[in-house]
A and B are shown apart, each in its own frame.
Chain A
Amino acid sequence: MLTDATAATDKIRCDACPVMCYIKPGAAGACDRYANHNGELVRVDPHIVLERTVSHGGRLVPFQATGDWDGKIVHEPSVFVTAIGAGTTYPDYKPAPFIVSSEIDGVDMVTVVTEGIFSYCGVKVKIDTDRYLGPETATVRAQGEAIGHVTTSEYGSQMLSLGGVHHLTGGSKKEGRVTCEALMDLSNCKPVELTIDGGATVVVQAGYPPIVNGVAEERMRVGCGSATIGMFAKQWHGKVDEVVVVDDHITGVLSEHQAGKLLEIPDTGIKMKGRRSTPGRYFQVAEPGTGWGGTMISDPLSVLGPFDPRTARPGMTMLMVSTTGEHAAYYELDAMLRPVEKPMPADLRQSVERIQENCEPALCTVLFMGGAGGSLRAGVTDNPVRLTRSVKEALTRVTSGGAPVYVWPGGGITFMVDVTRLPAGAFGYVPTPALVAPIEFTLRLSDYAALGGHMDHVRPLASLKDNTEIRQMPPQPPGPRA
């Protein structure tokens, strides 16, 4: 392989054949077999085979000989890995319509102009934030088009359900196109701006913190102020007289809280602003903001009223801390029962660090969910339901771009995969609109034969090593449709 002297442009010159193509980064040569991947000439056609295979209905092809496959099965000489796949590890690859040579219906040649696969697919988005993104069932929009909705929230996270056949195919053309684009971008770990009817605008990118109304979340809080009291009351007991955990939603006060009562922590005469919900739990101590505990305050004492002189006494100690541990201060009451900030004792400092340690980084996570339908299964076996059964019986391992998947129980092969575990750019689309996602089925050759596999298309891995894979594969006979 040669690198062109004018490497400043990052073009490389391929010498695999006398055409000697100049290839730009991210592009392939005239043959579609060699490409420039970050300045390096790489062979791409094994991936292309996978891609093209599924895209015209699916056909058994061997998984490539190299890569991150961790299945031991690959290395056993008598067993072949089989993969039916779409997508490729090649960056920014989009499945292009293509042309095949084949026999179908007694027809000698077939010219193909477009393709498509996962019409039944979507993504489930988990956004680590306690911020209010919008009401449950509210419509989620991208570029103004409805692409999904807010679904029931999970612990510390807001959940969105996006895509699905209804938005992909049930609405206007634009709705389908925008949905498809958003799903593909989210699945390829690209940022997508979503707006929620009656709620927030959030930028979601798998593996990155959400950006809610322009502000990036950093950490999930350890819990609300009340929960934090519950979690740490024992660790504070005996080390400090009072603890206030400042939080946008629920601010907790140790001495009044049920946890403090159980530990028989005496009253301190503290007076909280805000609305008391239940003992030791206060709503709305301050407006939301980017200060302490998601409130707007920078001086935590502003949430306190004067201490009650009937209960409070000079020298009493108090810790104030936010629900992420990012803010904390230690006070002692002076002779006038006014809190005066003092250096924080080491054991209390440790408890603050413990809160920080227990706050996980706020992330967006995106699970792609799709159903491997009839025609795709028909690419694997001429009796598609046997493939489903084989998957259920765990004889066949399903992966997506090599990443592990969760296969839902029940009918069909409906799977979920964490998109960050797939190679970059693994998802493509077709204008149907539908997503093109990689999926591989791995199983023993004997099992494959037993389920009615296309044995005549099984090739030994060794035959791949000389990079002589076939590009053109015939479309499949009919099967139940995806």
Chain B
Amino acid sequence: MSRAPQIRFLADGRRLHLQDGPIDLIVEARGSEANLRAAYDAAARRFTGLLDELCDELKMLRLAADPARCLLQGAVARRMHGAVAPFAAWHFITPMAAVAGAVAEEILGAMVQEVRLERAYVNNGGDIALHLAEGQRFTVGLIDRPDQHGLMRTIIVDADDPTRGVATSGRHGRSFSFGIADAVTVLARTASQADAAATIIANAVDLPGHPAILRIPAHDLQPDSDLGARLVTRGVGELSEREIADALEAGNSCARALLGAGLIEGAALRLCGETVSVASRPVNPRVSRGAYQDGMESAEHV
């Protein structure tokens, strides 16, 4: 059957939308007009066929990653492996845990390689690769109630900051989680690293054996899930404040360890309306209307 990726601009005429199968990217760059066109062309070229490349190695991508060696061929597949490998010795993790971030990174790379851009992002369903030229910055916002106006918090990423990737994982998204976090958002040096780390931290936000947590074998939900018969979280009943704090602390201690190992730059963990965060450095709170703000203070309850 014929299949062509969708490549077009969103209604605002500024943001490029690339979609193919489960990959769905929003791309935006800032630079000269000629450079923008060249960058978007490069993104579209790289995007075409990328899914086929991944699917050629899908079987292996769905197997637990070998921490010591990588037999994968494709550039994106190898990047996925590289992102999960640091965790593979201690955790069950497949390269698929980093697929969204790795794809975002690949497309961003194709753009930045082509021309000079002031700044650019490739957002793959919330897993975001960033490019920042000197003096540039991005503001990343978190919302927990889209029906209400206002950002829960904002994170400013500037060119001096090592962060170039943002990713979110949790039990609600398209992917499954072993944990109960509503969302774990991670800042890391690359989008693929952020993606893998968010998965690991979200898995750690958990209350093992808690009766109010409904867990179902992943393959009962998705027959070809890379998680096989492993139990994934499908429902979280009522938790006490104490339990919420315990689960968040379990995740936070994992996040602190990853921060200490240099695998992430910061993380915000959210469960049942409560948030905890860690960061390598304090970020200035930025106040905007209609919302309470705080930066990502070090390991502090908010």
Contact = CB atoms under 8 A, between A and B. Distances in A.
A32 B173 CA distance: 11
A27 interface: yes
Contacts of A20: 55
Interface stretch (B17-25, B82-90, B251-259): B17-25
A31 B22 contact: yes
A11 B223 contact: yes
B26 A18 contact: no
B147 A57 contact: yes
A459 interface: yes
B139 to A, nearest CB: 5
A20 B1 CA distance: 12
Contacts of B55: 17-20
B223 A107 contact: no
Contacts of A154: none
Given A19-B58, A99-B168, A478-B290, A111 B143 contact: yes
Given A17-B20, A111-B126, A457-B11, A481 B146 contact: no
A472 B3 CA distance: 21
Given A18-B52, A115-B147, A472-B24, A109 B174 contact: no
B144 interface: yes
A178 to B, nearest CB: 10
A340 interface: no
A352 to B, nearest CB: 53
Contacts of B108: none
A104 B123 contact: no
B182 A113 contact: yes
Nearest to B185: A111
B106 to A, nearest CB: 17
Given A19-B22, A109-B123, A477 B149 contact: yes
Given A24-B221, A31-B21, A470-B17, A99 B149 contact: no
Interface string A447-482: 000000000110100000000101110011111011
A55 B146 CA distance: 7
Contacts of A22: 222-224
Contacts of A111: 126, 140-143, 166, 168, 183, 185
Contact of B21 (A19, A23, A456, A479): A19
B222 A375 contact: no
Contacts of B147: 55-57, 115-117, 375, 481-482
B21 A18 contact: yes
Interface string B4-45: 001010111001010111101010100000000000000000
Contact of B174 (A30, A100, A105, A112): A30
Contacts of B81: none
A96 B172 contact: yes
B101 interface: no
B161 to A, nearest CB: 15
Given A96-B172, A109-B128, A15 B1 contact: yes
B123 A101 contact: yes
A110 interface: yes
A404 interface: no
Contact of A471 (B8, B24, B121): B24
Given A110-B151, A113-B172, A470 B238 contact: no
B10 to A, nearest CB: 6
A156 interface: no
Tell which of A21, A110, A482 has the most Cβ of chain B within 10 Å: A110
B173 A109 contact: no
B145 interface: yes
B284 interface: no
Contacts of A477: 149
Nearest to A455: B11
A276 interface: no
Interface string B129-159: 0000000001111111111111100100000
B51 interface: yes
Nearest to B149: A478
Contacts of B138: 108-109
Contacts of B142: 110-111, 113
Which of A21, A30, A115 has the largest count of B CB atoms less than 10 A from its CB? A30
A375 B149 CA distance: 9
Interface string A110-140: 1111111100000000000000000000000
B270 interface: yes
Interface in A1-47: 9, 11, 15-24, 27, 29-32
Contact of B170 (A105, A109, A113, A476): A113
Given A99-B125, A111-B168, A476-B149, 9 more contacts: A18-B58, A31-B22, A56-B143, A96-B172, A104-B143, A108-B28, A113-B270, A114-B145, A470-B10
27 contacts: A9-B223, A11-B223, A16-B21, A17-B3, A18-B52, A23-B223, A27-B222, A29-B22, A31-B21, A55-B147, A97-B170, A97-B182, A98-B173, A99-B173, A101-B123, A104-B141, A105-B288, A110-B140, A111-B185, A113-B144, A114-B182, A115-B147, A472-B17, A475-B143, A477-B149, A481-B147, A482-B147
The 7 closest A-B pairs by CB, nearest first: A17-B21, A99-B126, A56-B146, A18-B55, A113-B183, A478-B149, A107-B141
